[in-house]
């Protein structure tokens, strides 16, 4: 690749400079669109990631050529600081912490957008007669960037258990929140009319920063996936608006793609968790209740991997339900061994993937793809829910909330209304987990005490490995 500063010198007064920049930006936009398309299916996701990175490299080179950079040391320092923060984050944070990592990335992206907006205001806008619409765009960018920055940091804190995951609510909270947002919007409107009212600018930023915190505090941990993708959408919108401010078509396109994809994902997540989108937008998340404990506990039946293997040997149809515990124990490769042994015996094995299983959208798909489980064996919730009743075995591996029948009938349950996988309808249910501890929502699961359920207590990797070994011996391997 041509070093950008070399390109800057070579292309300095050249007539090809403009077309080269346009071609690079066009190429970057095409890469981003392809990346989103490929990222939406497990078998092309890796390719999607690579093409996105190629597009981003083209965009950076194009931006450096077009910007007539005079001093590269600040850019080099920025790259160094970014790499010093990003590389350890990528290497040290485990797969199960990707949602936190995503929240931090949003925070940094949004902070960048807000800072660029603020710099532009102080350097150029207030000194000149700025058209109202341009100032309105800049104010919106700074507002969205600032609230996304603190909102994402709060989401990070909740997911990393640095802050309480339970909703923190008080009476009249929505009114206070909406008032703070309305005040910051008012500052933006006034600045659009009078850009020289400098004192209002820091007030707008402070109010937006405060709103970001207030927006996330009342949200319970169970709603975090929706919030993260919504913040992703805000960060994208902010970047897109920054494109208008900087007159960069590339940023407008890239930010719009980011904003739209985040919004679409939020809607999908809302449906999967049974939250209304309006409810999410207005931050009315305070209604989530604490665990409903009802005195009498039903007995739990447990079994051994040997017995489970015997029952599965005789099965025709097995549905595997992976959940967060599979990710924690990194059991996906053992699950692949189990899948191989069962299919070798002619058992029809499929995987039921709940949209919010694990801790990030697509979490289970990524892990199962890593273990090279055929994609056509993965079924989405709506496609497979009708099949549980005909299944001989439902093998629940470290999944809890996504198979909790309370979501259907217990109005007091925090997950009431969330669509769940019908694992309890299978003839026999095996549930692998280490204890009777609850899952993410912090509630008991009546599936574990159902007459059809046999618990397999232990680490998912060890238990699945033992079942696969038993089957392998039975298969004469």
Angle between helices 332-344 and 363-370 (to 10 degrees): 70
Please say whether the dihedral angle defined by the alpha carbons of residues 425, 429, 435 and 439, taken in this order, is positive or negative.
negative
Four-point Cα dihedral 387, 388, 392, 394, nearest 10 = 130
- 329 three-state secondary structure: helix
- Cβ proximity to ligand NAP: between 188 and 222 the closer is 222
Please report whether residue 225 would count as binding ligand NAP according to CB under 6 A. yes
- Which span (85-93, 100-108, 179-187, 220-228) binds ligand NAP, by CB under 6 A? 220-228
Greatest Cα pair distance, the chain, in angstroms, is 83
| Residue among 100, 329, 365, 413 that touches ligand NAP (CB under 6 A) | 329
Would you say 113 or 235 has its CB closer to ligand NAP? 235
Q: Which residues contact 286 (CB under 8 A, 6 or more apart)?
A: 167, 169, 173, 174, 218
Q: Which stretch binds ligand NAP (CB under 6 A): 171-179, 219-227, 288-296, 383-391?
A: 219-227
Q: Which residues pair with 397 in a beta bridge?
A: 322, 432
Residues 182 and 161: their CA atoms lie apart, in Å, by: 31
459 classed as catalytic: no
Catalytic residue among 8, 223, 258, 401: 401
| Residue with smaller CB distance to ligand NAP, 341 or 365 | 365
Q: State the angle between helix axes of 132-159 and 173-193 in degrees (0 to 180), rounded to the nearest 10.
A: 150
Q: Does 434 bind ligand NAP (CB under 6 A)?
A: yes
C-alpha to C-alpha distances, 349 to 154, 320, 346, 392, nearest whole angstrom: 41, 7, 9, 11
Q: Which is nearer to ligand NAP, 121 or 448 (CB)?
A: 448
CB nearer to ligand NAP: give 42 or 99: 99
Q: CA of 208: how far to CAs of 162, 170, 278, 371, in Å?
A: 22, 20, 20, 44
Are 145 and 111 in contact by the 8 Å Cβ rule? The answer is yes
| Single residue of 110, 116, 360, 467 touching ligand NAP by CB under 6 A | 360
Q: Using DSSP, state whether 378 is helix, strand or coil.
A: strand
Question: Per-residue string for binding with ligand NAP, 378-407, x by CB under 6 A?
Answer: --------------------xxxxx-----
Q: Select the span of 53-61, 283-291, 301-309, 356-364 touching ligand NAP (CB under 6 A).
A: 356-364
Total residues at interface with ligand NAP (CB under 6 A): 32
Distance CA 456, CA 302 (A): 6
Please state the closest distance from residue 440 (CB atom) to ligand NAP, in A: 3
> At CA 286, angle to CA 280 and CA 290, rounded to 5?
125
Nearest distance, CB of residue 438 and ligand NAP, angstroms: 6
Told to check if 356 binds ligand NAP by CB under 6 A, we report yes
Among 48, 222, 236, 255, binds ligand NAP (CB under 6 A): 222
Q: How far is the CB of 53 from ligand NAP (least distance, A)?
A: 23
Q: Which of 58, 153, 217, 224 touches ligand NAP (CB under 6 A)?
A: 224
Least CB distance to ligand NAP at residue 397 (A) = 7
Q: Which is nearer to ligand NAP, 219 or 245 (CB)?
A: 219
Q: How far apart are CA 349 and CA 288, in angstroms?
A: 36
Q: Which two tokens stand for residue 14?
A: 């050249």
Q: How far is the CB of 437 from ligand NAP (least distance, A)?
A: 4
**Could you list the residues that contact ligand NAP (CB under 6 A)?**
99, 222, 224-225, 273, 323-325, 328-329, 356-361, 363, 398-402, 432-435, 437, 439-441, 459-460
């Amino acid at each position: 690749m041509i070093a950008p500063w070399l390109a800057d010198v070579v292309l300095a007064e050249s007539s090809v400079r403009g077309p080269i920049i346009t071609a690079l930006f066009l190429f970057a936009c095409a890469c981003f669109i392809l990346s989103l398309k490929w990222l939406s299916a497990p078998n092309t996701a890796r390719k999607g990631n690579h093409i996105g990175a190629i597009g981003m490299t083209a965009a950076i080179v194009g931006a450096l050529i077009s910007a007539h950079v005079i001093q590269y040391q600040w850019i080099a320092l920025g790259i160094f600081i970014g790499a010093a923060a990003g590389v350890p984050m990528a290497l040290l944070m485990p797969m199960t912490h990707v949602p936190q990592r995503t929240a931090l990335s949003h925070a940094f992206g949004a902070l960048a957008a807000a800072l660029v907006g603020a710099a532009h205001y102080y350097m150029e806008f207030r000194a000149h007669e700025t058209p109202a619409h341009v100032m309105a765009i800049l104010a919106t960018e700074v507002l969205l960037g600032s609230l996304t920055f603190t909102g994402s940091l709060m989401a990070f804190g909740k997911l990393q258990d640095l802050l309480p995951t339970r909703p923190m609510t008080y009476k009249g909270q929505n009114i206070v929140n909406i008032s703070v947002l309305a005040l910051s919007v008012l500052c933006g409107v006034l600045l659009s009319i009078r850009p020289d009212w400098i004192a209002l600018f820091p007030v707008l930023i402070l109010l937006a920063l405060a709103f970001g915190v207030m927006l996330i505090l009342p949200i319970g941990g169970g709603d975090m996936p929706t919030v993260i993708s919504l913040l992703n959408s805000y960060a994208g919108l902010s970047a897109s608006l920054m494109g208008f401010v900087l007159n960069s078509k590339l940023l407008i396109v890239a930010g719009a793609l980011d904003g739209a994809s985040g919004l679409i994902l939020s809607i999908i997540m809302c449906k999967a968790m049974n939250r209304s989108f309006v409810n999410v937008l207005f931050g009315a998340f305070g209604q989530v209740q604490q665990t409903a404990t009802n005195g009498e506990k039903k007995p739990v039946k447990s079994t051994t991997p040997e017995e489970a293997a015997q029952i599965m040997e005789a099965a025709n149809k097995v549905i595997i339900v992976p959940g967060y515990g599979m990710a924690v124990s990194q059991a996906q490769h053992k699950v692949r061994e189990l899948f191989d042994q069962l299919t070798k015996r002619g058992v029809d094995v499929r995987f039921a993937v709940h949209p919010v299983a694990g801790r990030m959208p697509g979490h289970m798909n990524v892990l199962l793809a890593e273990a090279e489980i055929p994609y056509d064996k993965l079924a989405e919730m709506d496609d497979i829910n009708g099949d549980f009743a005909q299944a001989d075995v439902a093998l629940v591996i470290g999944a809890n909330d996504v198979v909790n029948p309370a979501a259907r009938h217990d109005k007091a349950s925090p997950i009431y209304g969330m669509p769940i996988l019908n694992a309890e309808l299978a003839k026999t249910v095996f549930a692998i987990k280490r204890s009777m501890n609850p899952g993410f929502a912090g509630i008991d699961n009546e599936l574990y005490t159902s007459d059809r359920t046999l618990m397999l207590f232990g680490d998912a990797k060890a238990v699945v490995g033992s079942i696969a070994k038993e089957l392998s011996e039975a298969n004469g391997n």
